[in-house]
Chain A
């Protein structure tokens, strides 16, 4: 009895310390984001107050200032470009991944490696060729140009991630559907895709994040019309001073769609990320 009580007490403490550790880790991870969010509601005086002010009168001036300038246009550009490149990458990549997963050609592995080639070099290696080509064909400073660039990177990601999901899906399910008279396309759309929901969600969010967070290509390949939100935020770093409040508000705005999107698909995301983790 005494041993059992000791054991339970030990377990209780172990759980307590584990929870405490998790809370500390979460606080550590969240601290920069929370700091940024708090900063976005402060006046410039409060931002630079020393010691830092935890109690202050919040202001929306940074957000209103943000929306009175060019930021809304850049934010819309980011949304259009990220959603556009993600949607096209999924539309093109998912059938491609399915084909690679199911085809019996001995060369499918080599093909997959070739598809991954676009991610094998650092983005900076492609900068000058892309810049020159875009200038020549008139795609500089256009949303279409950015969508195409992100597509080249996202497509390989979709193919590789989705192929592993399709590989893990038993072929017997499709074969059963075929026996029941389904076509190849029907078995793909009605059987395989619904089963790959978590994988699709995880892949889509990764593609979206890549496009949404990109700074480098947006910096090089845009000017004024297609500038995205990350580049627009850097534009608050003026020569004579940085607009810290607007930078913080812009940062918070940039985080928002990712948080909302992740929250909406969090169930699929966790399933997608952990799929295959215990596969033997």
Chain B
């Protein structure tokens, strides 16, 4: 009993001591803070809060990607530094999107930090389901100056910002569409270089057809992504003026010409079964040397030179997407971290985002894993990044940056971030399939797709121009 009282008494003294110490520290901190303010300095973001988020469990979700495979190795350090526990689940692309769309649309609080998927960004940001991150950036207690949000390449932020330029996410992955010729040696045998225009592309396909049983061109079946650079290259557009005017513009001579051109690439120069190819199958057709040229995001092109089992490591060459009469419009996209409005741990989520796409973590990803889809210019400009993206002796880093900047400046990728695009994009897939299989001409297929898209958009309440 006495022992117990003694313990309690010494405990109380210790508590009082700690309290005195705490007050003393507090006074010192206050004085230091006042002094700092007096000389115009800003208090550090985590002053005196070494384990600011102790006890917080952060729930994160994204689609599975190599990025998260690398990131999960660093998460224990982040947990140790902040005190929070991170549960980050990754699923297949369609599974994640479906679950998150439902979670966000019902204003759930199950998730604190999510990937803002490129094709859903317009829907999620437009509907107000994702937090505006501008106040977090402007609060010096939440974001230090050197975090530098301007460091993200313009094109990577386009889909993660609203019309006012307010950010709703920060990217961890960027995709830039380029061209790769897996068997560039076949082109060289014919005295040809990588095509830079649509005419040259058709000519190269024509001249290399039948050589060593390699199909000159390959693609996956997501035509509403792959075909758009051709549509725009011929002078066409997807919508009249996205996001303000979503009237489809597919029943035009330009769209018909682009559909005929692309349909011919697939039907005359594609490998058997090309119309049913997934992304992976198209990549495999190049990696195994069964097909030659493809225009697609860099993610699918790097393995041609880097995968140990690639058979085209020594013959692959890279270039920009060929330009049409109206110019070059390579696709670009990005996926970034955002915070659902229903989250109950928003500050912890922001701390995670700052860390996950901060300069230090990004550089580490590059140094330790050669991660190629970097979104921070300060890292892209390093020699290390150039080395990483020097593929088969070719500087692909500069192609990557060029495409990302182009996407940011031109604003031509806005069509893809409007909430209705996934819905009408399927009509484009169907139209291209019809053209490639000879069921319809470009003009017929695009007119039909236009009519179907207009009907769908009207049903969902979108204002469509008459005529």
Contacts and interface: CB of A to CB of B under 8 A. Distances in A.
Given A44-B309, A45-B309, A235 B95 contact: yes
Contacts of B102: 127-128, 131, 220
B99 A50 contact: no
Interface in B263-321: 271-272, 278-281, 283-285, 288, 290, 299-300, 303, 309
Contacts of B106: 128, 131-132, 135
A271 to B, nearest CB: 40
Interface string B235-267: 000000000000000000000000000000000
B92 A238 contact: yes
Contacts of A234: 92, 94-95
B144 interface: no
Interface residues of B, number: 31
A45 B288 contact: yes
Contact of A240 (B66, B281, B290): B66
A244 interface: yes
B115 to A, nearest CB: 10
Given A48-B284, A219-B99, 8 more contacts: A48-B285, A223-B99, A231-B95, A238-B63, A238-B92, A240-B66, A241-B283, A242-B278
Given A238-B65, A241-B279, A241-B283, A223 B89 contact: yes
A188 B405 CA distance: 76
Nearest to B61: A223
A140 B99 CA distance: 12
Contact of A135 (B65, B110, B279, B284): B110
Interface in B352-408: none
16 contacts: A44-B284, A44-B309, A48-B285, A48-B288, A131-B106, A132-B106, A220-B99, A223-B99, A224-B89, A231-B95, A234-B95, A237-B93, A238-B65, A239-B299, A240-B299, A241-B303
Contacts, number: 66
B28 interface: no
Nearest to A215: B95
B98 interface: yes
A239 B280 contact: no
Nearest to B285: A48
A219 B280 contact: no
A219 B98 contact: yes
A231 B300 CA distance: 25
A217 interface: no
A236 interface: yes
Contacts of A219: 95, 98-99
Contacts of B65: 238-240
Contacts of B300: 240
A237 B283 CA distance: 14
A233 to B, nearest CB: 9
Interface in B107-128: 108, 110
Contact of A237 (B89, B92, B271, B290): B92
Given A45-B288, A132-B106, A219-B98, A239 B89 contact: no
Interface string A236-275: 1111111010000000000000000000000000000000
Given A48-B284, A135-B108, A224-B89, A239 B95 contact: no
A242 B98 contact: no
B91 interface: yes
B99 A244 contact: no
Contact of B280 (A45, A235, A242): A242
A240 B372 CA distance: 12
Contacts of B278: 242
Residue of B280, B283, B288, B300 with most partner-chain A CB within 10 A: B280
A237 B95 CA distance: 10
B30 interface: no
Interface in B188-225: none
A220 B96 CA distance: 10
Interface string A56-81: 00000000000000000000000000
Contacts of B279: 241
Interface in B52-84: 63-66
Contacts of A127: 102
B290 A50 contact: yes
B400 to A, nearest CB: 16
A236 B90 CA distance: 11
A133 to B, nearest CB: 11
Contacts of A48: 281, 284-285, 288
Contacts of A224: 89
B93 to A, nearest CB: 5
Q: 10 nearest interchain CB pairs? A: A48-B284, A242-B280, A237-B92, A241-B280, A235-B92, A238-B64, A234-B92, A239-B65, A239-B93, A224-B89
Nearest to A222: B99
Nearest to B87: A224
Contacts of B89: 223-224
Interface in A107-149: 127-128, 131-132, 135, 140
A44 B284 CA distance: 9
Contacts of A238: 63-65, 92-93
A238 B300 CA distance: 12
A167 B316 CA distance: 71
Nearest to A243: B280
A44 B287 CA distance: 11
A223 B108 CA distance: 14
B263 to A, nearest CB: 23
B61 to A, nearest CB: 8
Contacts of B283: 241
A48 B92 CA distance: 22
A244 B285 CA distance: 14
